């Protein structure tokens, strides 16, 4: 049982209105002011703040409990903990998919991936991110950024879907959803085989640091998308030796893989600091879904305590994830308790880069910056939504209405168990989603169901695209 360390006393209230500075200027300063303003307008570079560099980091299949900043005791994550300490830690940070590719599609587009039929992993009908979608690197490139990606793509492996065709100026990594950590086959630099010799997570750390060095004059955007700690469970002997005391073989390997990712993040952050870029670099971190913890279905040794459920479920354990935003020049360190989702990181990055987020009609994420500075109070979203086959969910305030994979209850791994009936939980008092209040509160169920139905109207069938290609005719989904 991992103890959570969200003690009330360590929080500061980010919804407190931002303190406004009241400047009293001496009379002589008043006389000088027109001269200073004229000087500033003659040299606009002095007046305009530099665009921040942007580093978006994604971990893969991490357990909610498996980071030091959530109280993990058996796996040290000092570099992630330092990142958490440098910025804002979200206690209700979500991803829009309980699975790898859907979450990454939502992050890259800033939209619920169901809007363009990307409900499941790539492959099959309409596989890959539809070319109708504009990506975060497309938008940041247009805003003057050097863009690069290191890691797992998982948004299509056709030539026209390659990261270099989807907004990235540089790419080092692999195109699929999982990869050996020791075999180079399939690891590419650009479109060519990389002939990589290092353990893959170490190689990603090295390449990320090298990208930052190459583009130190900025502004740069780097998408560092790990496949750690996704299967196959491969770790280096040296790191495994550090965890000889962990009896469970899978957990020991998982721990060694987590440490490798933490070290890689440490390496790129050390490079950023050494170049003097730490203050004006926006860094975000999420896991792409919850830890796989359903026996017989998907397991990697991760722990999602205190959440119930797993990767591949719409329970909290599938979609609530470690979630960090750090930008020392702009954001005070703290804890943010309102629900937010990875779609917001897209809008937030654009806003930080000076892009007018409101001008992008299709964007569904919210720019979190005013909420994190205290300029705006309250919740960024009225509600958050999920659809993953027949599994569905909505979170509005503390309420959650959910239909989830029955395997999460039976834990047998047997096929064709279907999904549960709609269950209603109050997450403020029941984060583990144990006490179903649906029968006791039919009006609340009706209200949330209507909200979910309204959201679902704009969704496409899995595999369908907005230009009408692929997929089947829009299917009616079961409402939560
Ligand atoms: Ca994943």
SS3 for the chain is CCCCCCCHHHCCCCCCCCCCCCCCCCHHHHHHHHHHHHHHHHCHHHHCCCCCEEEEEEECCCCCCCCHHHCCCCCCCHHHHHHHHHCEEECCEECCCCCHHHHHHHHHHCCCHHHHCCCCCCCCCCCCCCCCCCCHHHHHHHCCCEEEEEEECCCCCCHHHCHHHCCCCEEEEECCCCCCCCCCCCCEECCEECCCCCCHHHHHHHHHHHHHHHCCCCCEEEEEECCCCCCCCCCCHHHHHHCCCCCCHHHHHHHHHHHHHHHHHHHHHHHHHHCCCCCCEEEEEEECCCCCEECCCEECCCCCCCCCCCCCCCCHHHHECCEEEECCCCCCCEEECCCEEHHHHHHHHHHHCCCCHHHCCCCCCCCCHHHHHCCCCCCCCCCEEEEECCEEEEEECCEEEEECECHHHHCCCCCCCCECCCEEEECCCCCCCCCCCCCCCHHHHHHHHHHHHHHHCCCCCCCCCCCCCCCCCCCCCCCC
CA neighbor of 419 nearest in space, from 462, 460, 477, 341 = 477
State the Cα–Cα distance between residues 432 and 425, nearest whole angstrom. 9
State the Cα–Cα distance between residues 440 and 208, nearest whole angstrom. 52
Distance 165 CA to ligand 1 centre (A): 23
Distance 396 CA to ligand 1 centre (A): 25
CA neighbor of 314 nearest in space, from 57, 102, 3, 460 = 102
What's the confidence (pLDDT) of residue 435? 98
CA neighbor of 237 nearest in space, from 263, 257, 262, 267 = 257
Residues 36, 28: contact at Cβ < 8 Å?
A: no
User: In order of start, what are the domains of the chain with their CATH numbers?
Assistant: 53-373 (3.40.720.10), 384-456 (3.30.1120.10)
Distance 58 CA to ligand 1 centre (A): 9
Mean pLDDT over each residue of the chain, to the nearest integer: 90
Distance 311 CA to ligand 1 centre (A): 8
State the Cα–Cα distance between residues 347 and 364, nearest whole angstrom. 8
What's the confidence (pLDDT) of residue 32? 57
State the Cα–Cα distance between residues 155 and 177, nearest whole angstrom. 9
| Length of the chain counted residue by residue | 480
Going by DSSP bridges, is the β-strand pair 323-326/281-287 parallel, antiparallel, or unpaired?
antiparallel
What's the confidence (pLDDT) of residue 38? 54
47-100 pLDDT per residue, tens: 457 999 999 999 999 999 999 999 999 999 999 999 999 999 999 999 999 999
What pTM does this model have?
0.90
What's the confidence (pLDDT) of residue 31? 57
Distance 377 CA to ligand 1 centre (A): 32
Residue 462, judged by CB atoms within 10 A of its CB (0-12, 13-18, 19+), counts as: buried
What's the confidence (pLDDT) of residue 21? 30
Supply the Cα-derived Rg of the chain in whole angstroms: 23
What's the confidence (pLDDT) of residue 463? 86
Distance 67 CA to ligand 1 centre (A): 16
Answer yes or no: 154 catalytic.
Answer: yes
Phi, psi at 69, each rounded to 5°: -75, -5
Residues 198, 180: contact at Cβ < 8 Å?
A: no
Location of structure tokens 């440098």 = 86
Residue from 100, 162, 215, 234 carrying the catalytic annotation:
100
Distance 46 CA to ligand 1 centre (A): 43
State the Cα–Cα distance between residues 218 and 48, nearest whole angstrom. 15
What's the confidence (pLDDT) of residue 441? 98
Distance 79 CA to ligand 1 centre (A): 21
* Residues of the chain under the 50 pLDDT cut: 1-27, 29, 40, 44-47, 124-125, 473-474
State the Cα–Cα distance between residues 361 and 351, nearest whole angstrom. 14
Residue from 70, 79, 118, 154 carrying the catalytic annotation:
154
Answer yes or no: 100 catalytic.
Answer: yes
Going by DSSP bridges, is the β-strand pair 88-90/399-403 parallel, antiparallel, or unpaired?
unpaired
């Amino acid at each position: 049982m991992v103890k959570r360390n969200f003690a009330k006393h360590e929080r500061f209230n980010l919804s407190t209105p931002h303190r406004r500075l009241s400047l009293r200027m001496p009379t002589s300063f008043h006389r000088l002011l027109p001269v200073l303003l004229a000087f500033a307008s003659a040299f606009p570079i002095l007046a305009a703040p530099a665009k921040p560099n942007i580093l978006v980091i994604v971990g893969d299949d991490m357990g909610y409990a498996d980071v030091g900043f959530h109280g993990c005791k058996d796996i040290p994550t000092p570099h992630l903990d330092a990142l958490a300490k440098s910025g804002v830690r979200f206690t209700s940070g979500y991803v829009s998919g309980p699975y790898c590719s859907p979450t990454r599609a939502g992050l890259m587009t800033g939209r619920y991936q169901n809007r363009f039929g990307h409900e499941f992993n790539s492959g099959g009908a309409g596989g890959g991110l539809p070319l109708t979608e504009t990506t975060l690197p497309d938008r940041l490139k247009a805003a003057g950024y050097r863009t690069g990606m290191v890691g797992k793509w998982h948004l299509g492996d056709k030539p026209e879907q390659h990261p270099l065709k989807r907004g990235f100026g540089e790419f080092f990594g692999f195109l699929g959803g999982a990869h050996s950590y020791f075999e180079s086959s399939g690891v590419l630099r650009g479109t060519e085989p990389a002939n990589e010799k290092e353990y893959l997570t170490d190689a990603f750390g090295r390449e990320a640091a090298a990208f930052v060095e190459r583009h130190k004059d900025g502004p740069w955007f780097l998408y560092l998308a790990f496949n750690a700690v996704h299967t196959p469970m491969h770790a280096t002997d040296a790191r495994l030796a550090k965890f000889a005391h962990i009896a469970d073989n899978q957990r020991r390997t998982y721990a060694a893989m987590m440490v490798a990712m933490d070290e890689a993040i440490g390496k790129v952050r050390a490079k950023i600091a050494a170049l003097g870029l730490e203050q004006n670099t926006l860094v975000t971190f999420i896991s792409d879904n919850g830890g796989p913890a359903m026996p017989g279905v998907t397991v990697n040794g991760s722990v999602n305590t205190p959440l119930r459920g797993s990767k591949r479920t719409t329970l909290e354990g599938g979609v609530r994830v470690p979630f960090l935003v750090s930008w020392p020049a702009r954001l005070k360190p703290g804890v943010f308790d309102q629900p937010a989702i990875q779609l917001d990181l897209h809008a937030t990055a654009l806003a930080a880069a000076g892009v007018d987020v409101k001008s992008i009609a299709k964007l569904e994420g919210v720019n979190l910056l005013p909420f994190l500075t205290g300029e705006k109070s309250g919740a960024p979203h009225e509600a958050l939504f999920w659809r993953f086959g027949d599994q569905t969910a909505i979170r509005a305030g503390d309420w959650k209405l959910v239909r989830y994979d029955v395997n999460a209850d039976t834990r047998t791994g047997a096929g064709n168990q279907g999904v549960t009936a709609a269950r209603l939980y109050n997450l403020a008092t029941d984060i583990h989603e144990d006490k179903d209040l649906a029968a006791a509160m039919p009006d609340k169920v009706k209200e949330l169901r209507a909200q979910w139905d309204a959201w679902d109207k704009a969704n496409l069938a899995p595999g369908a695209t907005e230009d009408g290609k692929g997929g089947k005719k829009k299917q009616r989904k079961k409402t939560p």
